[in-house]
Each structure stands twice: as C-alpha cells, then as structure tokens.
Amino acid sequence: MTANPRLLQLVLPLGLVLICGTMAVGAAPAPDPGAGGLQTSDYRIETDETHWNFNTGDFTMPHRVRFFRPGTDAVGDRATGNSKLGTATLVGNVTVHDNGNAPEATGGGAYNGSGPATLTCDQLTIDSKQKIYTATGNVHFSQGSRTGTSQRGVLDRATGMLMLTGDVKLTDAGSSMSANAVNYNLNTKNVDVTGAPLVIKQPVPASEAAPATPKPKKKKPPR
C-alpha cells in the first residue's frame, strides 16, 4: 500500500539518521590528530591497532574504533574496510552521532531534521563513494517523540531510496506502524508498506472521541 503523509513523518527520521549519522545531545569530540588509525579523503578512523595493505587498500581494526566524516562520528567494537574504495564496516555495539553539519544536511535539497537523535545497531556499513549506508541487526533510533526499530535499514543516497525490512516498528506521538517492509523515496515522498498483517494506529482527537456513556442512576429502594 502507499502510505499517507502521517506515515512519512514516521519514516523520515531514520532516513536522516542513515544519511548523516545521528545528532547527539551536545557536541561530539573532535578527532585526535595524534591517534593511530586511518585517514582517507572520505573519512578518518581512530583505533589502537590497524592492519592495512597499501596495495589493495584492505584494512582490519580488531579493537574499539571511532569513525569520523564531515558532520558525523561513530563508534564500534572493531572495523574492516577498503581505503581505496571508500568503504568501512563498523561491527559490534555501533552508535552514531552527528553535529548537524554533514554535507548532505545542508543546501536547497537537504532533508530537514527534527532535533537530537540516536542510532544504534549491530553493524553499520558505509560506502562513502556510492553513498550507500546499511545498518543491520537490532536497528534502533529515537528522535524526539519518534522511535523506530527494524532488523535492517538501507539508504541509497544517490536514488533517495530508504528500505527497512524485518519487524519494522515506527512510532510518533501516539501514532504507530508495524510492518514487514517499508520502502520510502525521500525525493518523491512515496512510501510503500507491506506486512502480514500491516498494523497502523493513530490517536483519536479528543474532539472526535465518542462521548462517555452515562452510568445509569441507581434507583432508591421504596420505603
């Protein structure tokens, strides 16, 4: 089915999260120039141990890592990737933050955010050249009154398509949606939702709520 505008408000924040990372409450610490790790034209990763092949560009980082790109920082238990391809995969207890100044968050075609947010997942894969972001395993985000969970979220920034799959649950100020899959085009604002069953709940305004049925008065027993 194609969802209504209210559902767009439920889906949009996760798209913002995967585009830019997420916005932290308070400023994220700046990269440490003296820390070990890896620096490319697309991102920087800090860690205490790196195995890097200069010919192929493949790298592994077996210990805690911090990832930085313009406007974004993230942490994970370990990382792999390829510096030449501009890819990085953070694995284990991944948390992403954003300061609101990512290149994708500015300009006339930007997707407007809605305040501080947090994204966590088991694994986050970033293809900085193709602009494809994939969060997998216990994906959870919150932003103001909005929350969402799924098993997988993929954003193709080039096409503007956001795909959520696996036990998708979205809530926003009393509205909620449960589905198997949600495909959202951030450019056209079209949302296609599938589920078995698909459940959508919206709060009923107080003015439209049915009046309470008055309780019958108890009859006084005859004297």
Cα 69 versus chain centre, distance: 17
Q: Out of 1-10, 68-77, 126-135, 171-180, give the one with best mean pLDDT.
A: 126-135
Q: Out of 12-21, 67-76, 178-187, give the one with best mean pLDDT.
A: 178-187
Residue 11 has pLDDT above 70, yes or no: no
**What share of the chain has pLDDT > 70, as a percent?**
61
Greater confidence, 75 or 45?
A: 75
Domains identified in the chain and CATH numbers = 5-201 (2.60.450.10)
- The per-residue pLDDT for 68 is 81
pLDDT, average across residues 164-169: 90
State the chain's mean pLDDT as an integer: 74
> Would you mind telling me the total number of residues written for the chain in this entry?
223
Greater confidence, 59 or 44?
A: 59
**What share of the chain has pLDDT > 90, as a percent?**
22
Q: 37 exposed, middle or buried (CB, 10 Å; 0-12, 13-18, 19+)? A: buried
pLDDT, average across residues 119-147: 85
Beta strands in the chain (DSSP E): 37-39, 44-46, 51-52, 58-61, 65-69, 72-76, 78-82, 87-98, 117-127, 132-143, 146-156, 161-172, 175-185, 191-194, 199-201
pLDDT band at 107 (very low <50, low <70, confident <90, very high): very low
Q: Express each pLDDT in 56-96 by its tens digit.
A: 999 999 999 998 876 677 899 999 999 899 898 999 999 88
- Global pTM reads 0.72
